[in-house]
């Protein structure tokens, strides 16, 4: 036996070592001992057995007396008796504790005993040995014991080099090698956690949603951009769904105001203001569940209208690589302009992006970035976060006070939006890809967007097609990025109006401003039979 205590694995190999010889045969049919011994003799056997020392009870001898009684003696005494006894019909009984319960075959320990007897008493090979296979216990007076009459072979090898042994146990595959028992699931806390955290998911699949694909959820690689209140909430819910691979992107540090709202941070992270959120969040996830593969990337997201990002092409390439390497992108930053580049790159790489945005008492959860082919309408893509806007994102932090820079929202809104973002992802991934708005999966519908209002506790699920002049996901923007990347990014970072000019939004707004507006009064409506409208 070998014990690997670091991994809680126990290796063992059972062996019942036995000489391969001497060869013997049964001289006649085995019989139950109770058919040969009288009750008195059974009583003498039981008493004699109890008088032996424990180590002597495995092998011993019995010699009958002239009066018909029995004398129980140790193995050494029995061998000495055989040496001094020349009468072949008075060799008594050789007794061994038999682990076998077969009626016609004694157990393997008999092989070793016969070898010992022949070694010390070679003359016995010409005799028929009466062997008692002692079975049962003294309380039952060994009533299950068998009597074998054994004829030994005349051949016996005493040369130690030629002696062979048998008795090694085979494993379940019939091979001669050790078995092992893996107790890590019951003794290793990490394995215990892995088994326990999946219990709710397994019960959910077993009792409620048998078609639920938990493997595709667990194998998904999730990129969380923004490790704030929303990012922490999304990460915790992803873990609860069994996701194993989570990467955070953030360039902020944990402050004293964060721990009460952002569930992955502690007061100790705030001391000296020197702990990056992305690193701390990844570390805490591994503390919560050691099986999680979590990584923190400290980087800032290059943003339109921020001239300081003009030479930040390295972060653009890094962000593009991270989005390409992950399956789902959660856009959870706290400004509109910081969502632009991840939205554009998610569309470029055809990756599922889920945006969650907060108001004081409202929230928006939206999926976008993946092409969807609707045969009936010909629509190829659902709208992204910027498709309903007609202005490009600019620097929203310029000349803003601290209270204006922070997202001011009711505390529960972020938890609701973060949870919905994860539930939307899990529902979407059940259908894999090419998911139309409000398609149905085993968990229910898969909406395009979810808009909620806490003030009156209402929620709606509208969907919109992509806007062909969108400043983030339109083909014009994607192609300009691919064809003249450096020039395109420089223009975006320095010129707040560049994206509007590129996509034609500027011309569209100018045309709208030049449209004449007609109003009809009530009398005009009555006379014409039409309805009041504004063009």
Alpha-carbon span 342 to 363, nearest angstrom:
20
| 121: annotated active-site residue | no
What is d(CA 322, CA 249) in angstroms, rounded to the nearest whole number? Answer: 9
The Cα 494–Cα 6 span in angstroms is 58
CA distances from 295 to 244, 249, 351, 476 (A): 11, 9, 20, 34
121, 232, 270, 406: the active-site residue: 406
Q: Where are the beta strands (DSSP E) in 336-466?
A: 352-358, 362-368, 439-441, 444-446, 449-453, 458-460
Beta-bridge mates of residue 250: 298
CA distances from 125 to 81, 118, 508 (A): 16, 7, 115
Are 315 and 301 contacting, i.e. CB atoms less than 8 angstroms apart? Answer: yes
261 contacts 231 by C-beta, under 8 angstroms: no
Alpha carbons 8 and 302: distance in angstroms, whole number:
49
Instruction: Identify the helix (H) or strand (E) that includes residue 477.
Output: helix 475-483
DSSP 181: E
- Residue 169's alpha-carbon distances to 14, 18, 108, 177, in angstroms, are 6, 12, 13, 8
Q: Are 10 and 4 in contact (CB under 8 A)?
A: yes
Question: Mind telling me the catalytic residues?
Answer: 406
């Amino acid at each position: 036996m070998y014990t690997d205590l670091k991994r809680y694995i126990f290796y063992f190999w059972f062996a019942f070592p036995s000489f391969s010889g001497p060869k013997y045969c049964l001289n006649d049919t085995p019989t139950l001992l109770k058919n040969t011994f009288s009750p008195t003799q059974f009583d003498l056997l039981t008493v004699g057995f109890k008088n032996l020392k424990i180590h002597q009870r495995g092998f011993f001898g019995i010699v009958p007396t002239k009066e018909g009684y029995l004398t129980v003696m140790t193995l050494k005494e029995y061998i000495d008796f055989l040496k001094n006894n020349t009468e072949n019909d008075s060799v008594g009984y050789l007794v061994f504790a038999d682990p076998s319960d077969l009626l016609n075959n004694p157990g393997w320990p008999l092989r070793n005993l016969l070898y010992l007897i022949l070694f010390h008493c070679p003359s016995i090979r010409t005799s028929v040995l009466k062997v008692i296979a002692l079975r049962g216990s003294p309380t039952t007076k060994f009533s299950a014991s068998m009597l074998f009459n054994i004829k030994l072979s005349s051949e016996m090898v005493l040369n130690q080099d030629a002696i062979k042994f048998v008795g090694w146990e085979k494993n379940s595959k019939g091979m001669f090698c050790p078995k092992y028992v893996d107790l890590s699931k019951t003794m290793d806390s990490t394995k215990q956690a892995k088994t326990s955290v999946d219990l709710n998911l397994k019960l959910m699949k077993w009792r409620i949603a048998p078609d639920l694909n938990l493997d595709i959820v667990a194998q998904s690689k999730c990129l969380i951009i923004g490790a704030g209140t929303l990012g922490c909430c999304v990460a915790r819910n992803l873990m609860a769904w069994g996701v194993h691979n989570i990467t955070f992107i953030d360039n902020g540090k944990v402050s004293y105001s964060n721990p009460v709202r952002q569930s992955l941070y502690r007061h100790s992270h705030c001391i000296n203001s020197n702990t990056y959120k992305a690193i701390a969040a990844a570390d805490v996830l591994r503390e919560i569940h050691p099986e999680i593969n979590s990584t923190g990337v400290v980087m800032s997201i290059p943003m339109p209208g921020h001239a300081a990002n003009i030479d930040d092409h390295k972060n653009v390439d890094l962000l593009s690589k991270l989005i390409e390497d992950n399956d789902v992108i959660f856009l959870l930053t706290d400004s509109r302009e910081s969502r632009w580049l991840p939205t554009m790159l998610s569309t470029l790489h055809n990756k599922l992006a889920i945006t969650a945005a907060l108001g004081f008492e409202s929230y928006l959860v939206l999926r976008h970035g993946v092409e969807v082919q609707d045969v009936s309408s010909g629509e190829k893509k659902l709208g992204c976060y910027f498709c309903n806007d007609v202005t490009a994102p600019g620097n929203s932090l310029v000349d803003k006070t601290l209270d204006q820079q922070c997202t001011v929202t009711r505390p529960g809104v972020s938890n609701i939006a973060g949870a919905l973002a994860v539930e939307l992802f899990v529902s979407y991934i059940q259908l894999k890809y090419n998911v139309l708005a409000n398609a149905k999966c085993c968990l229910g519908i898969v909406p395009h967007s979810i808009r909620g209002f806490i003030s009156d506790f209402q929620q709606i699920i509208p969907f919109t097609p992509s806007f062909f002049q969108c400043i983030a996901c339109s083909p014009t923007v994607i192609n300009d990025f691919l064809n003249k990347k450096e020039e395109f990014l420089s223009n975006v970072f320095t010129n707040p109006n560049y994206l509007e000019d590129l996509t034609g939004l500027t011309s569209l707004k100018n045309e709208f401003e030049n449209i004449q507006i007609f109003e009809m009064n009530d009398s005009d409506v009555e006379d014409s039979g039409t309805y009041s409208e504004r063009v």
